Chain A
Amino acid sequence: MSFLQSLNISGSGLTAQRFRMDVISENIANIDSTRTESGGPYRRKMVVLSSTGDFKNLLVKNLTDHEVEGGVEVSEIVEDQSDFKLVYDPEHPDADENGYVNMPNVDSLKETVDMMEAYRAYQANITALNTTKQMAVKALEIGR
């Protein structure tokens, strides 16, 4: 099945970008959340992606099995440690004695840009996948 293995690389990219989109959606949904389970306002979450398998393992595998396996995976989700936004709103139940509320450090502009980037990366992976497929289809046309 090795001639179809290369499709899995693009597949892992699609999965990673969709996961990233999930995290961005969560950030946008919690843009006004002042209470969380851990206490305090919501902190913006970010996805850290890493490539699967180090170079040495890939080389050894390639020499023995003639099979290249690679791709990307989500290694962790980190929280943005930047300061919360201070908003003056004395009526808010979570306001301090001076009337200020700590709002989540989510910036809707930043999230929108991240969202566009995830979407474009998803598209790029689909294009790569289709090209890989077209190459295999063309190979089957040899000698026709």
Chain B
Amino acid sequence: MYIEPIQQLQGINELNKTSDKTSDKENELSFKNIFNDALNNYIGAEEKVDEDIYKLSIGESDDLHNLMINTQKSEMSLDLFLQLRNKALDAYNEIMRLSV
């Protein structure tokens, strides 16, 4: 005789999911994560440029414009990263200047 296994209530699962999501969101919005994302963006873009330059120099690709686009991308992600670092340092200095 086939016995159907007891199913978990769907409604409870949904509740768990939403509570997970809010905690994820809080993590996503922390400054540390934004900073890490910017750094990883830059590292990824730089790796891509290195690979493109290598391929171009050994004659494997002739994709000049995509190389230039990737160069610009890495340049801009470095700019973004530097701006974030400056803002963080500014905030730190501001706090250090507080009179006690």
Q: Are B72 and A1 in contact (CB under 8 A)?
A: no
A4 at the interface (CB under 8 A from B): yes
Q: Which of B42-100 contact A (CB under 8 A)?
A: 44-45, 63, 65-66, 69, 72-73, 76-77, 79-80, 83
Known: A1-B41, A1-B44. Is A14-B65 also a contact (CB below 8 A)? yes
Q: Are B65 and A4 in contact (CB under 8 A)?
A: no
A18 at the interface (CB under 8 A from B): yes
**Contacts of B76 on A, CB cut-off 8 Å?**
4, 133, 136-137, 140
Q: Are B80 and A140 in contact (CB under 8 A)?
A: yes
By DSSP majority rule, is chain B's interface helix, strand, loop, or mixed? helix
**Contacts of A14 on B, CB cut-off 8 Å?**
65-66
**Contacts of A11 on B, CB cut-off 8 Å?**
65-66, 69
Q: Which of A95-144 contact B (CB under 8 A)?
A: 126, 129, 133, 136-137, 140
Known: A140-B79, A140-B80. Is A129-B41 also a contact (CB below 8 A)? no
Query: In the complex, A137 Cα to B75 Cα: how many Å?
Result: 10
**Contacts of B77 on A, CB cut-off 8 Å?**
1, 4
Number of interface residues of B (CB under 8 A): 14
Shortest A37–chain B CB gap in Å is 25
Partner of A137, one of B44, B45, B63, B79: B79
Query: In the complex, A34 Cα to B65 Cα: how many Å?
Result: 35
Known: A11-B66, A15-B66, A18-B65. Is A4-B79 also a contact (CB below 8 A)? no
A residues adjacent to B (C-beta < 8 A): 1, 3-4, 7-8, 10-11, 14-15, 18, 126, 129, 133, 136-137, 140
B residues adjacent to A (C-beta < 8 A): 41, 44-45, 63, 65-66, 69, 72-73, 76-77, 79-80, 83
